[in-house]
Amino acid sequence: MSEQSGKQLSKEEKDARFEAELLPVLDPLYNFAYRLTLDEDDANDLVQETYLKAYRFFDYFEQGTNAKAWLFRILKNSFINEFRKKSKQPAKVDYSEVEGYYNSEDVEGESGVATTTDMRTESVQDLIGDEVASALNALPVDFRTVIILCDLEGFTYEEMAKILDIPIGTVRSRLHRARNSLKEKLEKYAKTMGYNS
C-alpha cells in the first residue's frame, strides 16, 4: 500500500468510483467528440484517450465536483493537441456513413429532402435536424464548440470558460459571433427552401 497520499484507493475502489462518476458522461462526451472531429473513428479514439487521461489524473479529481466539465475540458485539450494537427482541411461529412445513426424514415433523394407528399411531423423534424447539423458542421470549430457547449450541453458561461480556458468575456463574444454565423447559414437554407425569414 502506497504511503504517498492519505486518500490512496485500492484499484478496485478507484475503478468503481471512476465508472460511477465518469462513465455516465460517455454519451454527451462522444457527441462532443464527434462534433469536433466530424469523424466516427476519430471521435472513438478521442473519447478513449480522454478517459485514459482522466483515469491517470483521477486522483486530482475531487469527488462530487463537476465531472462533466472536467471530462469535456480534457477532451477539448486532447483534441487541440492531437487531432487538430491531423486534419488541416475542413472535414467533409459523408452523410451516407452516418445515416444509420439517424432515425430518418422518409428521407429520400440525393439531397436528403423528403419527396413523399405525406410530410409527417417526424419527417420535418428530421429535415430540420439534418440542416441544423449541416449548418453547425460548416462553422469553424471554435464557433461550433461554444454553441454545442452552451445550447446542447447546457454548460454555464463560467463552466465554458473553465473548459475552454478563456475568459468569460471571450465566451460571450465568441458565442455571439457563432450564433450570427449559424443564423446566416440557416437563413440561406431557409431561402433555398422557399421559407420567408
Partner 1 sequence: MESKFTEVYQNAPAEGKETECEKVSKLLDLVIDGEATSEDQQYFNHHIEECIPCFESHQKQKLLKGLVSGHLKRVIVPISLAHLIKAKIQETL
Which residue ranges make up the site for partner 1 (CB under 8 A)?
11, 15, 18-19, 23, 26-27, 30-31, 34, 40, 43-44, 47-48, 51-52, 55-56, 98, 101-102, 125, 128-130, 132-133, 136, 147-148, 150-152, 154, 156-157, 172, 175-176, 179, 182-183, 186
Between 20 and 90, CB nearer to partner 1: 20
Between 91 and 133, CB nearer to partner 1: 133
Minimum distance from residue 80 beta carbon to partner 1 (Å): 21
Minimum distance from residue 8 beta carbon to partner 1 (Å): 13
Q: Where does residue 17 rank: exposed (0-12), middle (13-18), buried (19+ CB within 10 A)?
A: middle
Angle 141-143-147 from CA coordinates, rounded to 5°: 115
Minimum distance from residue 73 beta carbon to partner 1 (Å): 18
What does the alpha-carbon distance between residue 197 and residue 179 come to, in Å, rounded to a whole number?
16
- Locate 5 and state its grid cell: 497520499
What does the alpha-carbon distance between residue 103 and residue 71 come to, in Å, rounded to a whole number?
28
- Locate 2 and state its grid cell: 502506497
Minimum distance from residue 186 beta carbon to partner 1 (Å): 7
